[in-house]
Structure 1
């Protein structure tokens, strides 16, 4: 097992080194005439970016002083996103490079053909005859030897193509990350989804649950972001609020003030919370106590009977390492199966246990919708549903893309959201 892990680690490291060398080559080496300051700056930018990224990850996981986490997080995590899109943009440039080169060659060939045409004069009989060139007296003077051409058309054209493709790749990558970061910092949008439940009584038709997941308060997203999330949720005037995990990336000591706005959450039937995997990296027990202090009700493998349906919650599977994993029997055992049941579970993979226990609707997060395209394709390999509403037997699963972001405060192709799930009675 250790050998397999070591081989995988070496393959990943090798791929990272190769990818970064390729980016450096296309953006810095191929766009310059020779060794110099620009190439050295390229090495510093790429190596320094990865040093900051690794430092940010290590600082967060090791519980380094919070000020240090904040110093490293912004440049380090943004570099992670930028490096992805630099590599993708440079790869796309490989397709465009020969096309641009051929176009320039054809243009140059057409220009050369035009310059070779000689002017002609029309004779008395209407036939075209060459116009005799005018004699230049200076022509008798021997011409000086021409200077050697040190800039041959081939290399010059290659340099021009490299600069165009490299510049376009850099602009595309920076623009993509910039727009994706602005989208996260601007706060999540509101989605509305109607979910019919066969067992829901007519009196509960239109019951609205505000579902929010993956807020990821930490060294980047702080109190201001939490306030925007709270204000957005409250503006929907939900009947119930469900916070389905990954609220934080850090300790209560460091992030308690950032989470304080959660105390302002308002809903007729209250706000509920279940743990996500990141809570178990951040001190789950302390955070459960903290959210309870803020007025949310944790559902730790527990169930509550609301007037019209049962609301249950299970711990995240990451809690198994601490003996606090999900217990569906405890949360759903001996309940009245004639009542509709809504389950809060952070990860979509928990849907199979939900189906076995007769749950009508599971609300989850965790996937971020992939967060950074093409990450959604990887997310599909690990999750039954990446985003949206799907049915599994008699159980429906809704997965929100989440409100915040982990690592880079950036989303591309997976906009953040808070979802208002409106329950519909088939008897209405």
Structure 2
């Protein structure tokens, strides 16, 4: 590890420990609670943080299936801590105003009552988000473009992104998603990356139901950052292909519907290296503005890597999770040009799915899981 990385690692550790210490103080010390409350707050912070770290180690390097409920619990801690942080920060600012106004009694009452309210709200939001994350829905999006080839007018494209099977979801979750997609009877199914988390030898079986996807125009996939982060990207891509999924490795295919062609191009995720390095020029080689072209990439911002966006008529992406935990969509917007739904980026229509799974924590607040079904419509 280089000296710069060592310094960054120590800085990150310092920030983490500082945040945990702040969280403990705001939970128990600032409101002046008694000894039992302080011990409870200390246990929540220390045991929760250790549990979250342990859950990440387990699912990244070991088989999570035997301890999936414990992994779920460890990862869920992050959502509670997130909402506690937001609520306690607002409460602290309000307390500071009263302090500056020299109203110590009012400040003490606010902190004592308000901290309890924030704790209940954080637990309530997490519980709500945990349930919401298990209720996937279909989101219908109509893309109107007079350039859609006549034979593709009315075509339905199912976009599945961010499945994230492994840590908290197993084969039964994949089956549920496949059944949901099959009910929509799409012409084409696109998998937008981040289908997995963890090591391939433990997770491959959770993908088996994907073999039952059988739309008339096929199933195509691109990589996401998590395929590469597992360290098993090559093995996972081989698994996808054994399941009958065609992986677009900086490639394009020409599909026909009712006699009219459409170009589908797919590019590796930005995090890919070596054989997995993204190459949009290769994927779009020879595509002219006259051809109708769909670009499948994991991250919405990958459109900026395309030298000539004019050759792309519609981009389909995922990655953002729609923010997953309100209000993190505000942070996502600082990195990505769009967060969810249909938008226009650099003159190109972009559909971004919120994803069907979860990452980091098995909780979704303000961003329910979805499969997007895009209908192409040539009538303006």
- TM-score normalised per structure 2: 0.88
Select which of 122, 141, 147 maps to 1:173.
122
| 1:65-123 alpha-carbon deviations (Å, 9 max, x no partner) | 4357736522221111111111112223335658999xxx9xxxxxxxxxxxxxxxxxx
CA contact (8 A) 1:355 1:392 kept: no
User: What does residue 242 of structure 1 align with?
Assistant: 190
Distance in 2 between the 1:360 and 1:353 partners? 15
Matches within 5 A, 1:263-412: 263-282=211-230, 283-307=232-256, 308=260, 309-320=262-273, 322-335=274-287, 337-354=289-306, 356=308, 358-412=311-365
CA gap of 1:194–1:67, structure 2 versus 1, over 3 A, is closer
Cα distance in 1 for residues equivalent to 2:298 and 2:33:
54
CA contact (8 A) 1:371 1:411 kept: yes
Which residue of structure 1 aligns with residue 134 of structure 2? 185
Residue 157 of structure 2 is matched in structure 1 by: 209
Aligned residues: 371
1:115-126 matches, cutoff 5 A: none
SS of 1:291's partner is helix
**Hey, what does 1:80 align to over in structure 2?**
78
Is residue 227 from structure 1 mapped to residue 225 from structure 2 by the alignment? Answer: no
Do 1:49 and 1:75's aligned partners in 2 also have CA atoms closer than 8 Å? no
Residues 103-142 of structure 1 mapped to structure 2, 5 A cutoff: none
Confirm or deny: 8 A CA contact 1:369 1:400 kept in the other structure.
Answer: yes
- Whether the aligned pair in 2 keeps the contact of 1:81 and 1:410 (CA below 8 Å) is yes
Q: Is the 8 A contact 2:252 2:266 kept in 1?
A: yes
Does structure 2 retain, via aligned residues, the 8 Å contact 1:49–1:76? yes
CA contact (8 A) 1:211 1:420 kept: yes
Task: Tell whether 2:213 aligns with 1:254.
Answer: no
- Could you tell me which runs of 5 or more consecutive residues in structure 1 were left unpaired when the two chains were aligned: 106-153
State the Cα distance separating 1:190 from its structure 2 match: 1.1
Sort the Cα spacing of 1:379 and 1:420 in 2 relative to 1 into closer, same or farther, 3 A.
same
For 2:33 and 2:130, locate their aligned partners in 1 and report how far apart those are by CA, in whole Å.
Answer: 35
Which stretch of the first structure deviates more once superposed, 63-72 or 303-312? Answer: 63-72
For 1:93, which of 91, 94, 104 is the aligned residue? Answer: 91
8 Å CA contact retained: 1:59, 1:68: no
Give me the whole-angstrom Cα distance separating, in 1, the residues matched to 2:33 and 2:353. Answer: 50
Whether the aligned pair in 2 keeps the contact of 1:245 and 1:276 (CA below 8 Å) is yes
Q: TM-score, normalised by structure 1?
A: 0.79
Output the aligned Cα RMSD.
Answer: 2.7
Residues 1:22 and 1:204: Cα distance change in structure 2 (over 3 Å): same
d(CA) in 2 for partners of 1:226, 1:158 = 50
1:164 equivalent in alignment to 2:113: yes
Secondary structure of 2:271's aligned partner: helix
Please, which moves more after superposition, 345-354 or 23-32?
23-32
| Equivalent residues of 2:194, 2:223 under 8 A apart | yes
For the residues of structure 2 that align with 1:163 and 1:416, how far apart are their CA atoms? 36
Deviates more, 1:232-241 or 1:13-22: 13-22
1:16, 1:287 → 2: CA distance?
33
Q: Tell me the secondary structure at the aligned position of residue 272 of structure 2.
A: helix
CA deviations on 1:113-167 (whole Å, 9 max, x unpaired) are xxxxxxxxxxxxxxxxxxxxxxxxxxxxxxxxxxxxxxxxx87x87665442122
The alpha carbon displacement at 1:33 in A equals: 5.7
